[in-house]
A and B are shown apart, each in its own frame.
Chain A
Amino acid sequence: QVQLQESGPGLVKPSQTLSLTCTVSGGSISSGSYYWTWIRQPAGKGLEWIGRLYTSGSTNYNPSLRSRVTISVDTSKSQFSLKLTSVTAADTAVYYCAAGVYPFPLSEYWGQGTLVTVSS
């Protein structure tokens, strides 16, 4: 049973970079058995798919965020991360990391979510 836990700053200033980490337990991040995904949800709104990474290094990003987002993996730490540059108040949301069993890039396992507020 894969377990996921997000971590990172809860407050980021406008124009700065949002950086979050997801720590994986109960499954090997380097096994090639999973897709690793980031999803966000502004308060009171729906879910937005940010992007996903496969252990081979291949990534897919939401075109609406592609110019600002990077998802990467650190297999030595069993972590994958999200970086979102040039943030604005519109990036304020609960950020979830999630995982799906290859070859289906859906989200079977979820972290509890972490609130990131963009404000000066």
Chain B
Amino acid sequence: EIVLTQSPGTLSLSPGERATLSCRASQSVSSSYLAWYQQKPGQAPRLLIYGASSRATGIPDRFSGSGSGTDFTLTISRLEPEDFAVYYCQQYGSSPYTFGQGTKLETK
């Protein structure tokens, strides 16, 4: 099974700043089948990015994804107050389709 390790565990930033979240896989993720989700307290996760770099429907363009192989990044170019949440990466190229442990993005 592919293990995904996200870093940092917690990221403290202010609105307007740039956020960079990392997801590293224990082995290569086939076809860049890597997704990013955002989860706010008491809510289901929301798909942000799929295929490592494609934004899901309705996702603002301040969210961008990049990477391939074993190293992937989610970037939020300019943080809005509603962006403070927990972010998960998931690989869906090889079953079981594992998640990372999450990065909490909190207000500084």
Chain A: residues with Cβ within 8 Å of the partner, total of: 22
Chain A proximity of B3: nearest CB distance (Å): 12
Contact, CB under 8 Å: A46 / B97: no
B11 CB, nearest partner CB in chain A, Å:
16
A108 to B35, alpha carbons, bound, how many Å?
10
Q: Is the beta-carbon distance between B50 and A106 smaller than 8 angstroms?
A: yes
B contacts with A, residue count (CB < 8 A)? 23
* Interface locus among A11-19, A82-90, A110-118: A110-118
Q: Decide: B96 and A63 in contact? CB cutoff 8 A.
A: yes
Inter-chain contact B97/A47, CB cutoff 8 Å? no
> Are B97 and A113 in contact, CB atoms less than 8 angstroms apart?
no
Which A12-57 residues sit within 8 Å CB-CB of chain B?
46-49, 51-52
Q: Give 24 CB contacts A-B under 8 Å.
A: A46-B99, A47-B37, A47-B99, A47-B102, A48-B99, A49-B98, A51-B96, A52-B97, A60-B95, A60-B96, A61-B96, A63-B96, A96-B44, A104-B51, A105-B97, A106-B33, A106-B47, A106-B50, A107-B35, A107-B37, A107-B47, A108-B47, A108-B56, A111-B44
- A49-B98, A60-B97, A96-B45 given; 6 more Cβ-contact pairs under 8 Å: A48-B99, A49-B97, A104-B92, A106-B35, A106-B50, A107-B45
Query: Hey, which bits of chain B sit against chain A, CB under 8 A?
Result: 1, 33, 35, 37, 43-47, 50-51, 56, 88, 90, 92, 95-102
Binding site for B on A (CB under 8 A): 46-49, 51-52, 60-64, 96, 100, 104-108, 110-113
